[in-house]
Chain A
Amino acid sequence: MWTRKASFTFTGGIALILIGMMITNNQMMILGLTLITFIVVNSWVSGHGDIEVQRTLSADNLYKGDDLYVELLVTNRSNRRTQLLDVYDNIPHEMKLRSGLNQMRLNLRPGESARIRYVLRCPLRGHYSIGPVSLRVRNTFNLGVEDMYVDHHSDIVIFPQIKEVEEAFLRSRTPKMYTGATTLRTPGQGSEFYSLREYVPGDPFKNINWKAFARTGDLMVNEKCRDAVTDLYILLDSRDVARIGTVLKNPLEMGTVSAASLAAFFLKRRDSVALGIYGDGLAYLPPDTGDKQYFKILSSLAGVKPEGSMPLQAVTNSLSGRFSRGSPVFVISSCEGDGTVPAAVRDLVGRGHEVTVLSPSSIDFERLVSRIPRMSYEVLKLERQNRLTTLAGSGAQVIDWMPDMDLSQAIMQVRGY
C-alpha cells in the first residue's frame, strides 16, 4: 500500500507531466518523470516479512491481578535484510502493559534475531490469546507500506483471585460438618488401603500389589479408601443480571472469586467439591478432589460470562438427585430477578442439605454505576432484605455481601436472618 507521501509524489508527478505537456515545458515534464521514476525505483527496494517468531510466557495460567512476563524472539530467516520492519505483538485489550513495549522497529540482517520483552498485568479473569504478531514492512523512503501477520498465538487462562478463607468462619449448625478429613469407606483417591482388585488397563503401575501377583499369578492392584470430609456443592449464578456493576466489581466477579476461594479452601482439606454454573444453561462439574479438580474449577470459573436467565429451581431440580445426602450446598447468587430461589432453597434444605446463600448485593453494585434515587434505593434494599429473610426462614444461612466487603468478612457474618 502506498503511503500518503507516495500518493502525493505520484499525483504530483503525473500533474507535472500533464501540465508540462499543456504548457510545453520540458523541465516540468522531466521533473514529473523523475518523481514517477523515484516511486518506481523505490518500490524495487523493499523489505520483507519472512521472519520467524517464538513467544515465551512466564506462565500459562495466572490469577487475576498477576503479572505476565512475555518474551518474543524475532528471527529473520530470509537471505535478505528485512529493511524497516515494525513488529507488533497483539495483546488483548483487557491486559495492561506494565513495563516494556509490545512493539519494535527492526532492521534485521539475514539470520539475525531480536527479542522483545514486556510485562502485562491481567486485571480480568478469562481465557485470552496473545497474538498474532503483526508486521509492517516499509520501503526505504517510507513510500510503501505492507501489513502482514504471523499467525502465532499463545493461550493463557486468567483464574479468579483466591481469597483466604478462615476455617473458623465456616461454622455450621451441624457439628459434624467441616471437622477435618475422615476416611470414607468407599473406593477412591486416598491413603488408606481399601481392597484388592484385578488389574485393568489404565491402572497406574505403582498401585500393583506385587506380592499378590507373586502369590496368585494375576496382576492385582491396591484400592485406596476415599479421603474426604464430604462432598461440597457450589452453585454459581451467572445469569445476565449478574453483570450489574463495574467491570471489576459486579455480582459475577465477586461470585467467581468466592466460588474459587471456597473450592480452594475445601479442596485443600481434601474434600470433594462440585461446581454448577447456571445462566444461559447449566454447566456442572461433578464432585472430585485434588489439584486436577482445582484446575478444572478454576478453568470453568475463568470462562464464565453473564448471560441467560435460568432459574435456580431448574438447577436444583436437575442436580439435587445427584447431590450426596446431607452435603453442604453453597448458592452464590444476587437472587435478583429469580422468584424461584426461596422454593429451590427450601427444597434443598428439605433434602437435608446445609444451604448457604452468599448473595452479592446487586442493588449496591448498581449504585456504583447508576444514580438511584434515595427513596427507591431504600425500598429496593427493603425488598432485598425481605427476600434474604425469606431465604433465611427457609433454613438457609444467608450472607448479604456488600461490594466493599472482603470475602472473609462476608462469611463471618453468616447468620440466620
Chain B
Amino acid sequence: MAAERTRNIKRIGLQFAFWAVLGILLLTILQNFINISQTDQLSAYDDGWDDMSAFREDIKAMGVETKSLVSSPLLLADIEDPRNTTFIIAGVERDTLSFPQFDEDGFITIATEDGYSPSEVDAIVEFVDNGGTVIVLEDFGYAGSIGEAYGVRYSGYQLYDTNYVSELDYNYIWMCVQASPCGMNGTELDPATIEEHERWSSDVGEHPCAQFDGQSMTRSEAGVCSHHWVKSAGDLGRIEYNATYTMLLNNVTGLEIVPGVRGALKDVNVRAITSNQATVDVNGDGELWVSNEQTSETPDLWGQFNLSIEACASSSCDPEEGGRVFFVADGSALINAIYDYEGFNAGEYGKTDKFIPANDNRKWALDVIAESLMSTLEGEEGQPAENAMVSFDESRHPQNAILADSYNTVYFLLVYFTGEGLAMLALFVVLFITFEAVLLKKRDPEPWRHVFSIIYYGFGDANRYTYYAKTEKIRQVFLSKVRNQNGLTVEEFHAMSAKELVGLIQDPVLAKFAIEPGKYSLEQSVALVKRIKAWGRR
C-alpha cells in the first residue's frame, strides 16, 4: 500500500514537472510574440498625436480604400491588384520569429530575422515586382531586412543636422527632397536653396498632379490631387502644384546605399540628403566628437548623409513600369503632430506648448499616393484607380492591451503557418498527428450493458498441500485418530509406552509406522493413508 502511494506520488510529481516545463517553454516562446507596449503609436487607426489617423483620413477622402495588415505581410501575396496598392510601413517596432526555411537551392537555411522573416521580405519584394508601391518610414527599428533586399541600409545611429528647427530642438531637422542639400538662413530655411523634387521637377518628368496645375475644378474632381486644391469661389477651386518638398523629420538616422550589392530593383536613387555639416552619434553617448578621421577619441562621423532613398524598377520610376520602394530615415514622418501640424498646433490632439512649423510632409506623402494610385484610364485623370488601396502594416506595432496583442499574434501565427515553407510543413505534421491522436484516443462513451458477475472464489492455502503429504504429518494425524478413537487425553496418550500403543493399534504395519520413524516412498505413503482411513472401522 505504502509502495503504491509512493509510486502514485512519484507519478503525479513527474506529471506536474512535465506540464510545468512545458508551460515555461510555452510562456518563453509567447513572451517573444506577445510584447505589451506602454505606448501605442504609429497606428493609422488611432488618433493620438503620435498616430497617423490624419494621413489615413486624407487617403479615404481621396476615395482610396484603406486597410490594415495586422498579421503578416505574407498576405501581400493575396492582393489582387498590386499595381494600384500602396503598402505603408511606419515604424517596425518589433522583431519577428521564423522557422528555418528552404533556400533557392533547396537547402534549409537559418535566417537571423530583423523585423521581417525572409518569407515576409520575399512577399514584399514580390509585391513590388508586381507593380506595388511601398513606403518604408523607419529609424532605429527593425526595417533592416527590407532595406537589405534593395541594397539599402539603415545606419541605426542618431543623426543631427545643422538644418534643424531652432524653435523646437536639434532633434527636428529639415529634409529637402531634392538633389542638393538645402541650407539655413539664420534660424529659417533659406528659400534660395530650396529646389524642386529631382524626379517630379518640370525638367525631368512631372508629377501626375502637375498636369492639373492652374486648372479650375471642384474638390471631388481633383481626386487624388485634392491636397493641391485651393478654393476660389463656390465649389470651385484651383490646383496649385509645385514640386518643392521641405519635410520635417524627428529623431532620424542615416541611410546608406550598400556598395556592390544589387537589390531587387535596379534603379536606386538618393532623393534627400542632409547638409554637409550633419553628424552621426556613432557611440550613442549624446555627445558629438568628430574629426577628419574616426578614432576612439572622435568616434562620431560628420559630413553628408542620405535621408531618403527611392528604389524603382525603371529609371523613370514610372509606376506603370514597375514597383517602387520609398525609404525615409524617420519612422514618425507622418504622425499627426507633424503631418497635421495645423491641427496639432490648434490642440486637436491634446494640449501642447510645442508648435510644429509648417512642412510639406503631407504634400509629399499624398503625392506619392497620388502618383501610385491615380487611374491611367482615359477620362479618369486625377481620379483613383478602380482597385486603389492603401494598406498599413500594423503587424509590427506592439499593442498596449493583452487581448489586442494576442489577437495580432494569433493572426500572425495563422498566416505564418499557412504561408511559409517549413512552417507549413510543421503545421501539416501537427495536423497529421492530431488526426492520428483523434483516431487513436477519441472513444465514444461505452454503451451501457448490465453484466451479471458473481464470479468469485475463495481459495484455500495451497501451500499446505505438500505439508499434508509428508510422512510426519500423516503420522501425527494417525496418532490423533488413535488417541480420539480410544478416548484418551493428550496427557494420557503421551504417557503411554510403545508397547501399549502397539496394543492399541493392533495393526503391525501401522504400529511400525507409528513407532519407527523412517522414509516412505509415495506409493508406501498412499498405502499407509488408505490403511489409516480404514483403521478403526473394524
B417 and A378 form a contact (CB under 8 A): no
Those of B415-437 within 8 Å (CB) of chain A: 415, 417-419, 424, 427-428, 431, 434-435
CA distance A4 to B442 in the complex (A): 6
Scoring B residues 446 to 467 as 1 if CB is less than 8 Å from chain A, else 0, what string do you get?
Answer: 0010111111111110101110
Contact partner, B526, options A3, A86, A362, A375, Cβ 8 Å: A375
CA distance A94 to B457 in the complex (A): 14
Q: Is B414 an interface residue (CB 8 A)?
A: yes
Q: Is A160 an interface residue (CB 8 A)?
A: no
Scoring B residues 323 to 344 as 1 if CB is less than 8 Å from chain A, else 0, what string do you get?
Answer: 0000000000000000000000
A370 and B444 form a contact (CB under 8 A): no
Q: Is A40 an interface residue (CB 8 A)?
A: no
Q: A3-B444, A18-B431 are in contact. Are A375 and B450 (CB under 8 A)?
A: no
Identify the closest chain B residue to A94 (Cβ).
B454
User: Please, which residues of chain B bring their CB within 8 A of the CB of A380?
Assistant: 468
B474 and A18 form a contact (CB under 8 A): no
Contact partner, A91, options B450, B460, B484, Cβ 8 Å: B450
Contact partner, A390, options B452, B456, B465, B484, Cβ 8 Å: B484
A385 and B481 form a contact (CB under 8 A): yes
Scoring B residues 481 to 525 as 1 if CB is less than 8 Å from chain A, else 0, what string do you get?
Answer: 100110100000000000000000000000000000000001001
CA distance A378 to B451 in the complex (A): 39
B480 and A369 form a contact (CB under 8 A): no
Q: Is B473 an interface residue (CB 8 A)?
A: yes
User: Please, which residues of chain A bring their CB within 8 A of the CB of B434?
Assistant: 11, 15
User: Please, which residues of chain B bring their CB within 8 A of the CB of A136?
Assistant: 445, 448
B454 and A124 form a contact (CB under 8 A): yes
B477 and A379 form a contact (CB under 8 A): yes
User: Please, which residues of chain B bring their CB within 8 A of the CB of A91?
Assistant: 450
B444 and A24 form a contact (CB under 8 A): no
Identify the closest chain B residue to A12 (Cβ).
B435
User: Please, which residues of chain B bring their CB within 8 A of the CB of A324?
Assistant: none
CB distance from B493 to the nearest CB of A (A): 12
User: Please, which residues of chain B bring their CB within 8 A of the CB of A96?
Assistant: 452
A24 and B459 form a contact (CB under 8 A): no
CA distance A373 to B444 in the complex (A): 49
B480 and A375 form a contact (CB under 8 A): no
Choose among B468, B487, B530 the residue with the greatest number of A CB atoms under 10 Å from its CB.
B468
User: Please, which residues of chain A bring their CB within 8 A of the CB of B453?
Assistant: 93-94
Q: Is A43 an interface residue (CB 8 A)?
A: no
Contact partner, A123, options B78, B445, B448, B454, Cβ 8 Å: B454
B481 and A386 form a contact (CB under 8 A): yes
B454 and A7 form a contact (CB under 8 A): no
CA distance A89 to B472 in the complex (A): 58
Q: A15-B431, A247-B454, A369-B459 are in contact. Are A378 and B533 (CB under 8 A)?
A: yes
A386 and B480 form a contact (CB under 8 A): yes
CB distance from A340 to the nearest CB of B (A): 15
Q: A21-B414, A306-B458 are in contact. Are A103 and B484 (CB under 8 A)?
A: no
A11 and B435 form a contact (CB under 8 A): yes
User: Please, which residues of chain B bring their CB within 8 A of the CB of A405?
Assistant: none
Q: A18-B417, A373-B465 are in contact. Are A245 and B431 (CB under 8 A)?
A: no
CA distance A372 to B457 in the complex (A): 15
User: Please, which residues of chain A bring their CB within 8 A of the CB of B526?
Assistant: 374-375
Scoring A residues 92 to 116 as 1 if CB is less than 8 Å from chain B, else 0, what string do you get?
Answer: 0111110000110000000000000
Q: Is A243 an interface residue (CB 8 A)?
A: yes
A18 and B418 form a contact (CB under 8 A): yes
CA distance A332 to B442 in the complex (A): 54
Q: Is A359 an interface residue (CB 8 A)?
A: no
CA distance A86 to B478 in the complex (A): 66
Q: Is A1 an interface residue (CB 8 A)?
A: yes
Contact partner, A370, options B450, B454, B460, Cβ 8 Å: B460
CA distance A378 to B481 in the complex (A): 13
CB distance from A139 to the nearest CB of B (A): 13
Q: Is A129 an interface residue (CB 8 A)?
A: no
CA distance A284 to B481 in the complex (A): 35
Q: Is B192 an interface residue (CB 8 A)?
A: no
CA distance A97 to B485 in the complex (A): 53
Q: Is B443 an interface residue (CB 8 A)?
A: yes
Chain A: number of interface residues, binned into ranges: 35 or more
B418 and A97 form a contact (CB under 8 A): no
User: Please, which residues of chain B bring their CB within 8 A of the CB of A134?
Assistant: 448
User: Please, which residues of chain A bring their CB within 8 A of the CB of B469?
Assistant: 373, 375-376, 379
B533 and A382 form a contact (CB under 8 A): yes
User: Please, which residues of chain B bring their CB within 8 A of the CB of A103?
Assistant: 448, 450
Contact partner, B438, options A7, A95, A373, A383, Cβ 8 Å: A7
CA distance A376 to B453 in the complex (A): 32
Q: A3-B444, A4-B442 are in contact. Are A247 and B533 (CB under 8 A)?
A: no
A93 and B468 form a contact (CB under 8 A): no
Q: Is B179 an interface residue (CB 8 A)?
A: no
User: Please, which residues of chain B bring their CB within 8 A of the CB of A366?
Assistant: 459-460
Q: A247-B457, A369-B457 are in contact. Are A376 and B484 (CB under 8 A)?
A: no
Scoring A residues 6 to 24 as 1 if CB is less than 8 Å from chain B, else 0, what string do you get?
Answer: 0110010011001101101
User: Please, which residues of chain A bring their CB within 8 A of the CB of B478?
Assistant: 382
User: Please, which residues of chain B bring their CB within 8 A of the CB of A261?
Assistant: none
User: Please, which residues of chain A bring their CB within 8 A of the CB of B427?
Assistant: 18, 22
Q: Is B88 an interface residue (CB 8 A)?
A: no
User: Please, which residues of chain A bring their CB within 8 A of the CB of B533?
Assistant: 378, 382
Q: Is A246 an interface residue (CB 8 A)?
A: yes
User: Please, which residues of chain A bring their CB within 8 A of the CB of B485?
Assistant: 389
A389 and B484 form a contact (CB under 8 A): yes
Identify the closest chain B residue to A243 (Cβ).
B458
CA distance A15 to B436 in the complex (A): 13
CB distance from B477 to the nearest CB of A (A): 5
Q: Is B210 an interface residue (CB 8 A)?
A: no
CB distance from A228 to the nearest CB of B (A): 36
Q: A91-B450, A93-B452 are in contact. Are A382 and B532 (CB under 8 A)?
A: yes
B457 and A147 form a contact (CB under 8 A): no
CB distance from A126 to the nearest CB of B (A): 10
Q: Is A170 an interface residue (CB 8 A)?
A: no
CA distance A244 to B457 in the complex (A): 7
CB-based closest 9 A-B pairs: A243-B458, A21-B418, A366-B460, A376-B468, A88-B448, A247-B456, A376-B465, A389-B484, A93-B453
New A-B contacts (20) at CB < 8 Å, excluding given A97-B452, A103-B450, A375-B522? A8-B438, A11-B431, A15-B434, A22-B428, A93-B450, A94-B454, A97-B450, A145-B444, A243-B458, A244-B460, A247-B455, A247-B457, A369-B457, A373-B469, A374-B526, A376-B464, A379-B468, A382-B477, A385-B481, A389-B481
Listed by A's residue number, 9 A-B pairs whose Cβ atoms lie within 8 Å are: A4-B442, A7-B442, A18-B427, A22-B424, A97-B452, A123-B454, A246-B457, A382-B533, A386-B481
Which residues of chain A have a CB within 8 Å of any CB of chain B?
A: 1-4, 7-8, 11, 14-15, 18-19, 21-22, 24, 86, 88, 91, 93-97, 102-103, 123-124, 134, 136, 145, 147, 243-248, 250, 306, 362, 366, 369-370, 372-376, 378-380, 382-383, 385-386, 389-390, 393
Which residues of chain B have a CB within 8 Å of any CB of chain A?
A: 78, 414-415, 417-419, 424, 427-428, 431, 434-435, 438, 442-445, 448, 450-460, 462, 464-466, 468-469, 473-474, 477-478, 480-481, 484-485, 487, 522, 525-526, 529-530, 532-533
